[in-house]
Amino acid sequence: MKLAIMGAGAVGSSVAELAAEYDHEVVALADSNSAAVDAAGLTVESALERKQADGIVGDDDPQDALDSEYDVLVEATPTTLDDAQPGFGHVRTALERDRHVVLANKGPVAERYADVRALESESGGSVLFEATVGGAMPVLSTIDGFGADNITAARGVLNGTANFILSRMAAEGLDYEHVLAEAQDLGVAEADPTFDVEGIDAALKCVILANVLAQGEREFTLDDADIEGISDLPGSALDLAHEDGQTIRLIGEVTDDGVRVGPRLVAEHSAVAPTGTRNIVQFETKHAGRLNVSGRGAGGPETATAVLADVDRLPPL
């Protein structure tokens, strides 16, 4: 398939780099203010080298990438809230042109799920978004395989940064500020860690899960989520938990009662208490008990793997 990739950060770049290995061709790659477009297929390496050296991926405009002759638009621009722009506009443009869309950007399916589905229903293209929930983990494809009707709830650890901080606090007896600084040094936490430590990133993923599980019967946005972060959690809470064989994790939950994210007591060494940056999703099923999927929830090549698996799932146009 011919891919146009919007967004040239860690995920967009990795999709571009791995596309050839999956027998796909990149015909356009855009960042926020430049693009490289070539109907015959880009030399991805040159575009990424140019971004490194000059801060632009090529001499074209992002609009040229949107106008190019692609089969699949890969939306990998940063997640934004509320109107989810410019990601949502990219999705609209592609679907109106009867092209497929694969999302790594959570915004459109967390904040405007019904709008995306409405556009899809009028389009010859389809929308897939496995990469938006837990990077490389097969979360949405597991729901698809089981059938949303057969899954009664989902919960788990959906933010690697918050999990890294909590597992370090528990293991080393350090306080939040200290471990956050360490995580920032290691590149595990961003300079502004708000999205991760305040539970917003995990909530967006849970909202997407809730939308998929609701099958259109109800629409969820971030406003429907009850969210509490970890930045006020004292180290002493982890010590107390440990005395009782427990620990604390930032747990996201999707149940009939809605979407909740917050620090919760969980048994030490239990499935929902992974260490480091690992993520886990636990499904409650109607007839098959509890099912866990765990792995790397973020990262360029990891998320790109999910994007490219989605591309391979798309029907022919």
Residues with a catalytic annotation lie at 205
Would you count residue 309 as binding a copy of itself (CB under 8 A)? yes
Nearest by Cα to 187 from 163, 162, 161, 206? 161
Asked if 276 interacts with a copy of itself (CB under 8 A), we say: no
Phi, psi of 266 (to 5 degrees): -135, 155
Taking the least distance from each CB to a copy of itself, the nearer of 9 and 299 is: 299
Query: What is the β-pairing status of strands 151-157 and 246-255?
Result: antiparallel
Query: Measured from the CB of residue 41, what is the shortest distance to a copy of itself in angstroms?
Result: 21
Give yes or no for residue 153 binding a copy of itself (CB under 8 A).
no
Minimum Å gap between C-beta 310 and a copy of itself is 9
Burial class (CB in 10 A: 0-12, 13-18, 19+), 242: middle
Residue 100 binds to a copy of itself (criterion: CB under 8 A): no
Instruction: Check residue 296 for interaction with a copy of itself (CB under 8 A).
Output: yes
Q: Candidates 46, 52, 150, 215: give the one binding a copy of itself (CB under 8 A).
A: 150
CA distance readout (Å), 222 to 137, 198, 213, 237, 259:
22, 13, 16, 28, 9
CA distance 221 to 242: 35
Closest CA relative to residue 164, chosen from 184, 135, 141, 144:
184
Rounded-to-integer distance, Cα 46 and Cα 42, Å: 8
Residue 117 sits in the site that holds a copy of itself (CB under 8 A) = no
Q: Are 133 and 104 in contact (CB under 8 A)?
A: no
Q: Which stretch binds a copy of itself (CB under 8 A): 41-49, 79-87, 252-260, 296-304?
A: 296-304
CB-facing half-sphere around the CA of 221: CA atoms within 13 A: 14
The smaller minimum CB distance to a copy of itself, of residues 71 and 130, is found at: 130
| CA pair distance 239, 262, nearest whole angstrom | 18
Q: Which stretch binds a copy of itself (CB under 8 A): 54-62, 130-138, 213-221, 247-255?
A: 130-138
Give the interface segment with a copy of itself, choosing from 37-45, 54-62, 111-119, 132-140 (CB under 8 A): 132-140
- Residue of 146, 235, 237, 255 interacting with a copy of itself (CB under 8 A): 146
Residues 6 or more apart from 43 whose CB is under 8 A from it?
none
Q: Which is nearer to a copy of itself, 231 or 294 (CB)?
A: 294
36 binds a copy of itself (CB under 8 A): no
Instruction: Name the site residues for a copy of itself (rule: CB under 8 A).
Output: 14, 18, 22, 130, 135-138, 141-142, 145-147, 150, 269, 271, 285-296, 299, 301-302, 304-306, 309, 312-313
